[in-house]
Amino acid sequence: MADRVKQAKDLLIEQYKGSTNLNGFISSFAAELQAVDNETVNLLNERGLDTAKGVNLDIIGKIVVLDRPYTDPDPEDVFTYENPDDLGKGFTDIQKTEIGGYFIGLEPLNNQRYSDEQYRFILRAKIISNTTHATLEDMHRYAEFVFGADSSIIEGIGYIDISIARPLGKQERQIINATFPLAAGVRMGDLSYSNDPNTFGFTGDNRNGGFGDLNDPDVGGVFATLVID
Protein backbone atom coordinates (compact mmCIF):
# COMPACT_ATOMS: atom_id res chain seq x y z
CA MET A 1 0.00 0.00 0.00
CA ALA A 2 1.28 3.47 -0.88
CA ASP A 3 2.44 5.78 1.90
CA ARG A 4 0.31 8.88 1.22
CA VAL A 5 2.27 11.15 3.55
CA LYS A 6 5.59 10.24 1.96
CA GLN A 7 4.15 10.62 -1.53
CA ALA A 8 2.86 14.12 -0.74
CA LYS A 9 6.16 15.24 0.81
CA ASP A 10 8.14 13.86 -2.14
CA LEU A 11 6.16 16.16 -4.45
CA LEU A 12 7.46 19.27 -2.70
CA ILE A 13 10.08 21.21 -4.60
CA GLU A 14 13.47 21.20 -2.94
CA GLN A 15 13.33 24.72 -1.50
CA TYR A 16 10.21 23.89 0.59
CA LYS A 17 11.18 20.45 1.86
CA GLY A 18 12.79 21.95 4.96
CA SER A 19 9.68 23.93 5.96
CA THR A 20 8.35 22.55 9.25
CA ASN A 21 4.97 24.27 8.91
CA LEU A 22 4.42 23.15 5.32
CA ASN A 23 5.47 19.57 6.11
CA GLY A 24 3.06 19.52 9.06
CA PHE A 25 0.23 20.88 6.92
CA ILE A 26 0.81 18.31 4.17
CA SER A 27 1.11 15.48 6.69
CA SER A 28 -2.22 16.41 8.29
CA PHE A 29 -4.35 16.07 5.16
CA ALA A 30 -2.27 13.22 3.63
CA ALA A 31 -2.84 11.24 6.84
CA GLU A 32 -6.60 11.50 6.22
CA LEU A 33 -6.11 10.05 2.73
CA GLN A 34 -4.04 7.26 4.28
CA ALA A 35 -6.86 6.44 6.70
CA VAL A 36 -9.30 6.19 3.78
CA ASP A 37 -6.88 3.88 1.95
CA ASN A 38 -6.49 1.68 5.01
CA GLU A 39 -10.23 1.32 5.48
CA THR A 40 -10.72 0.57 1.78
CA VAL A 41 -8.19 -2.26 1.95
CA ASN A 42 -9.79 -3.59 5.14
CA LEU A 43 -13.20 -3.55 3.47
CA LEU A 44 -11.89 -5.44 0.44
CA ASN A 45 -10.24 -8.00 2.72
CA GLU A 46 -13.38 -8.48 4.77
CA ARG A 47 -15.57 -8.95 1.69
CA GLY A 48 -13.11 -10.76 -0.60
CA LEU A 49 -13.62 -14.48 -1.15
CA ASP A 50 -10.00 -15.32 -0.32
CA THR A 51 -9.84 -13.26 2.88
CA ALA A 52 -13.38 -12.92 4.30
CA LYS A 53 -14.12 -14.68 7.60
CA GLY A 54 -17.16 -15.66 9.63
CA VAL A 55 -20.31 -13.66 8.96
CA ASN A 56 -18.66 -11.81 6.05
CA LEU A 57 -18.09 -15.14 4.33
CA ASP A 58 -21.73 -16.03 5.04
CA ILE A 59 -22.78 -12.84 3.22
CA ILE A 60 -20.87 -14.00 0.12
CA GLY A 61 -22.68 -17.32 0.45
CA LYS A 62 -26.06 -15.56 0.37
CA ILE A 63 -25.01 -13.66 -2.76
CA VAL A 64 -24.12 -16.89 -4.62
CA VAL A 65 -27.10 -18.74 -3.05
CA LEU A 66 -25.21 -21.24 -0.93
CA ASP A 67 -25.61 -21.13 2.85
CA ARG A 68 -22.80 -22.54 4.99
CA PRO A 69 -23.41 -26.32 4.99
CA TYR A 70 -22.82 -28.92 7.64
CA THR A 71 -19.86 -31.25 7.41
CA ASP A 72 -20.21 -34.98 7.20
CA PRO A 73 -17.16 -36.26 9.10
CA ASP A 74 -15.92 -39.76 8.55
CA PRO A 75 -16.61 -41.52 11.88
CA GLU A 76 -13.40 -43.50 11.48
CA ASP A 77 -11.20 -40.40 11.34
CA VAL A 78 -12.47 -38.15 14.14
CA PHE A 79 -11.10 -38.06 17.70
CA THR A 80 -13.08 -39.82 20.42
CA TYR A 81 -12.34 -40.78 24.03
CA GLU A 82 -14.42 -43.93 23.81
CA ASN A 83 -15.28 -45.96 20.76
CA PRO A 84 -17.50 -48.84 21.83
CA ASP A 85 -18.55 -49.38 18.21
CA ASP A 86 -14.93 -49.29 17.04
CA LEU A 87 -15.43 -45.81 15.58
CA GLY A 88 -13.09 -42.87 15.88
CA LYS A 89 -9.44 -42.61 16.84
CA GLY A 90 -7.55 -41.68 19.98
CA PHE A 91 -4.72 -39.26 20.73
CA THR A 92 -1.97 -38.48 18.26
CA ASP A 93 1.75 -39.07 18.82
CA ILE A 94 4.49 -36.43 19.07
CA GLN A 95 6.72 -38.40 16.74
CA LYS A 96 3.96 -39.52 14.36
CA THR A 97 1.37 -36.80 13.93
CA GLU A 98 -0.59 -38.85 11.43
CA ILE A 99 -1.66 -41.18 14.24
CA GLY A 100 -4.91 -40.39 16.00
CA GLY A 101 -8.12 -38.62 15.06
CA TYR A 102 -8.88 -34.96 14.46
CA PHE A 103 -10.86 -33.09 17.10
CA ILE A 104 -14.15 -31.51 15.95
CA GLY A 105 -15.94 -31.08 19.26
CA LEU A 106 -17.26 -32.97 22.26
CA GLU A 107 -19.84 -34.75 20.10
CA PRO A 108 -17.66 -35.74 17.15
CA LEU A 109 -20.20 -37.87 15.35
CA ASN A 110 -22.73 -35.04 15.10
CA ASN A 111 -22.63 -32.77 12.07
CA GLN A 112 -20.73 -29.50 12.41
CA ARG A 113 -20.85 -26.34 10.32
CA TYR A 114 -18.15 -25.95 7.66
CA SER A 115 -15.09 -24.03 8.79
CA ASP A 116 -14.23 -20.83 6.91
CA GLU A 117 -11.64 -22.64 4.79
CA GLN A 118 -14.02 -25.46 3.91
CA TYR A 119 -16.81 -22.99 3.14
CA ARG A 120 -14.50 -20.82 1.04
CA PHE A 121 -13.59 -23.87 -1.01
CA ILE A 122 -17.17 -24.85 -1.82
CA LEU A 123 -18.09 -21.21 -2.55
CA ARG A 124 -15.46 -21.16 -5.29
CA ALA A 125 -17.05 -24.24 -6.79
CA LYS A 126 -20.51 -22.71 -6.58
CA ILE A 127 -19.41 -19.46 -8.26
CA ILE A 128 -18.00 -21.36 -11.23
CA SER A 129 -21.08 -23.59 -11.36
CA ASN A 130 -23.29 -20.47 -11.47
CA THR A 131 -21.41 -18.92 -14.39
CA THR A 132 -20.46 -21.88 -16.60
CA HIS A 133 -21.52 -22.89 -20.10
CA ALA A 134 -20.10 -26.40 -19.51
CA THR A 135 -17.50 -26.08 -22.27
CA LEU A 136 -14.13 -27.83 -22.07
CA GLU A 137 -12.56 -24.46 -21.22
CA ASP A 138 -15.09 -23.96 -18.42
CA MET A 139 -14.23 -27.38 -16.99
CA HIS A 140 -10.55 -26.49 -16.86
CA ARG A 141 -11.38 -23.10 -15.38
CA TYR A 142 -13.45 -24.81 -12.68
CA ALA A 143 -10.67 -27.23 -11.68
CA GLU A 144 -7.93 -24.61 -11.67
CA PHE A 145 -9.99 -22.00 -9.81
CA VAL A 146 -11.47 -24.33 -7.20
CA PHE A 147 -8.49 -26.61 -6.58
CA GLY A 148 -5.59 -24.39 -7.62
CA ALA A 149 -4.25 -27.18 -9.83
CA ASP A 150 -4.07 -28.19 -13.48
CA SER A 151 -6.55 -30.73 -14.74
CA SER A 152 -7.00 -33.15 -17.60
CA ILE A 153 -10.45 -33.62 -19.11
CA ILE A 154 -10.92 -36.75 -21.23
CA GLU A 155 -14.06 -36.77 -23.35
CA GLY A 156 -16.02 -39.93 -24.07
CA ILE A 157 -19.43 -40.58 -25.59
CA GLY A 158 -21.88 -39.14 -23.08
CA TYR A 159 -19.32 -38.87 -20.28
CA ILE A 160 -16.04 -37.23 -19.29
CA ASP A 161 -13.18 -38.47 -17.12
CA ILE A 162 -11.42 -35.94 -14.90
CA SER A 163 -7.93 -36.00 -13.41
CA ILE A 164 -6.74 -33.29 -11.00
CA ALA A 165 -3.01 -32.68 -10.56
CA ARG A 166 -3.01 -33.13 -6.78
CA PRO A 167 -4.56 -35.48 -4.19
CA LEU A 168 -8.21 -34.86 -3.36
CA GLY A 169 -9.88 -35.19 0.04
CA LYS A 170 -13.23 -36.82 0.69
CA GLN A 171 -15.15 -33.54 0.91
CA GLU A 172 -13.41 -32.19 -2.19
CA ARG A 173 -14.60 -35.20 -4.17
CA GLN A 174 -18.13 -34.70 -2.88
CA ILE A 175 -18.03 -31.06 -3.96
CA ILE A 176 -16.86 -32.03 -7.45
CA ASN A 177 -19.73 -34.48 -7.78
CA ALA A 178 -22.21 -31.81 -6.67
CA THR A 179 -20.98 -28.76 -8.59
CA PHE A 180 -18.83 -29.77 -11.56
CA PRO A 181 -20.20 -28.02 -14.70
CA LEU A 182 -21.55 -30.80 -16.89
CA ALA A 183 -23.70 -30.22 -19.95
CA ALA A 184 -27.16 -31.79 -20.17
CA GLY A 185 -26.93 -35.47 -21.05
CA VAL A 186 -23.28 -35.76 -20.01
CA ARG A 187 -22.27 -37.69 -16.91
CA MET A 188 -19.04 -37.86 -14.95
CA GLY A 189 -17.00 -40.98 -15.52
CA ASP A 190 -13.83 -41.64 -13.52
CA LEU A 191 -12.54 -39.00 -11.13
CA SER A 192 -8.86 -39.40 -10.40
CA TYR A 193 -5.84 -37.50 -9.23
CA SER A 194 -2.20 -37.48 -10.22
CA ASN A 195 0.85 -35.68 -8.88
CA ASP A 196 1.61 -34.53 -12.41
CA PRO A 197 -0.66 -32.42 -14.67
CA ASN A 198 0.52 -34.42 -17.71
CA THR A 199 -1.75 -37.38 -16.97
CA PHE A 200 -2.32 -40.26 -19.32
CA GLY A 201 -5.21 -40.00 -21.75
CA PHE A 202 -6.24 -41.00 -25.25
CA THR A 203 -8.19 -38.01 -26.61
CA GLY A 204 -10.00 -34.82 -25.73
CA ASP A 205 -7.30 -32.64 -24.23
CA ASN A 206 -3.95 -31.56 -25.64
CA ARG A 207 -2.53 -31.52 -22.10
CA ASN A 208 -2.99 -35.29 -21.83
CA GLY A 209 -0.03 -37.55 -22.54
CA GLY A 210 -0.39 -40.80 -24.47
CA PHE A 211 1.64 -44.00 -24.24
CA GLY A 212 5.27 -43.93 -23.17
CA ASP A 213 8.32 -45.22 -25.03
CA LEU A 214 10.58 -48.07 -23.94
CA ASN A 215 13.64 -46.07 -24.95
CA ASP A 216 12.46 -42.72 -23.61
CA PRO A 217 10.53 -42.92 -20.28
CA ASP A 218 9.87 -39.16 -20.39
CA VAL A 219 7.45 -39.63 -23.29
CA GLY A 220 3.77 -40.17 -22.53
CA GLY A 221 1.41 -39.32 -19.72
CA VAL A 222 1.49 -40.13 -16.02
CA PHE A 223 -1.05 -42.73 -14.95
CA ALA A 224 -3.49 -41.50 -12.29
CA THR A 225 -2.45 -42.26 -8.74
CA LEU A 226 -5.96 -43.07 -7.58
CA VAL A 227 -9.25 -43.80 -9.30
CA ILE A 228 -12.40 -42.86 -7.39
CA ASP A 229 -15.86 -44.17 -8.18
- How confident is residue 229, by pLDDT bands cut at 50, 70 and 90? very low
- How confident is residue 205, by pLDDT bands cut at 50, 70 and 90? low
Digit-coded pLDDT (tens) for 14-53: 888 888 888 888 888 888 888 888 888 877 777 788 888 8
Strand partners, 164: 151, 193
**What does the alpha-carbon distance between residue 26 and residue 156 come to, in Å, rounded to a whole number?**
67
Q: Residue 125: is its pLDDT beyond 60?
A: yes
Among the residue ranges 119-123, 133-137, 193-197, the one predicted with the least confidence is 193-197
pLDDT score recorded for residue 41: 80
- Classify residue 175 by burial, with Cβ atoms within 10 Å: 0-12, 13-18, 19+: buried
Amino acid identity of 124? R
Percent of the chain with pLDDT over 70: 73
pTM to 2 decimals?
0.49
pLDDT score recorded for residue 106: 58
Amino acid identity of 43? L
